[in-house]
Chains A and B, each alone.
Chain A
């Protein structure tokens, strides 16, 4: 994704990007002998945070997104940041924003769309979530503009190829789950903690939203891995004892 020219250009132009690793990713290696090995990652996951300069979280995109949607969401979060830093009370603004989005997803299944107001000096109304958020409509039919409109299509999948169809279908499904389920959870977490920094919520997001407990040495897979494992002496202690140990 970050090798894509358009995505890289938007991120480089509009954000100050940094990546961090929250833990090692589990890998599986199958040794077929005679130097033939197959290595794959297992159960990894990602989260994209948009932050202010002092590290306050504006919003979080959980998991992997299809490229077009990823850019669309980043564009919207750029605008939310743009408004948040101009309000007299950013924490109140952000709490309202997350509450509104959480309600919208709960009631309609879709988050509200952020309206772009580039020239703030002409705004005669106070910046609030009521003014900057609106329900998603058929933007093309309405001829409306929105921060949700990404500048251009990123990739054009070739659905005539079965493996591409399967790959892209999975990414679109993941994007759908991210937007309709996981974002709602994120908004509820951040509505209660509008001044949160990444360290305050990372473990909770990975454990409860992405279902990959980064404190668990087996990332929640212990039951699956060891259910029928024959060698009792190699079985790890039960998961609840592990989580107690790691706090």
Chain B
């Protein structure tokens, strides 16, 4: 009976992709050691015989994986606790405002003089006419 349970557990583990399941099947000896005592003591094996051992295997696997990860990362890791989004919404919480993008832009590809006087002085040197672009707002503003 215990052997049958062990088989079922191993098959389930394989289906769930847990390596220990394959190992269990591959190395199943005739006189396989009994499962943990809590399983064998359960009267109803139809459900509990699968769930509890699987839970146990998964629990063990998670712990071993965590240990492996800790070893690799060198620090204690806490698995993030699942959050119920609805419960975390709170009127006192405000979404973090993104930093406003810069409102200054390049005023095109024209090489603008910084002041009318400068443009007029350049005009007297070059002989070119002054082009004065008047506008509301600023040409180097994003909204202009």
Contacts and interface: CB of A to CB of B under 8 A. Distances in A.
Interface centre among A21, A58, A212 (most CB of B within 10 A): A21
Contacts of B121: 53
A17 B120 contact: no
A13 to B, nearest CB: 8
Most buried by B among A49, A58, A77, A214: A49
A70 to B, nearest CB: 11
Interface residues of A, number: 49
A40 B109 contact: no
Interface stretch (A4-12, A156-164, A178-186): A4-12
A140 B13 CA distance: 85
B75 interface: no
A214 B136 contact: yes
Looking at chain A's contact residues, is the secondary structure mostly helix, strand, loop, or mixed? mixed
A14 B135 CA distance: 21
A51 interface: yes
Contact of A41 (B111, B122, B123, B144): B144
Interface in B101-133: 107-116, 118-124, 126-133
A32 interface: no
Contact of B133 (A14, A18, A55, A85): A18
B109 A17 contact: no
A53 B137 contact: no
A47 B134 contact: yes
A87 to B, nearest CB: 15
Interface in A1-35: 1-5, 7-8, 11-12, 14-25, 27, 34-35
A27 B143 contact: yes
Contact of A48 (B119, B133, B138): B133
B136 A19 contact: no
Contact of A2 (B108, B122, B129, B137): B108
B136 A22 contact: yes
A188 B107 CA distance: 32
A51 to B, nearest CB: 4
Contacts of B98: 35
Given A52-B130, A53-B120, A12 B136 contact: no
Given A50-B130, A58-B129, A3 B108 contact: yes
A51 B129 contact: yes
B136 A81 contact: no
B95 interface: yes
Given A16-B131, A18-B112, A39-B143, 14 more contacts: A2-B139, A4-B109, A11-B110, A16-B126, A17-B110, A18-B116, A18-B131, A20-B134, A25-B135, A45-B136, A49-B133, A50-B130, A52-B129, A212-B136
Interface of B: 95, 97-98, 107-116, 118-124, 126-139, 143-144
10 contacts: A17-B113, A18-B132, A21-B137, A25-B136, A44-B135, A46-B133, A46-B135, A49-B131, A51-B130, A53-B121
Interface of A: 1-5, 7-8, 11-12, 14-25, 27, 34-35, 39-41, 44-55, 58, 74, 77-78, 81, 85, 198, 202, 212, 214
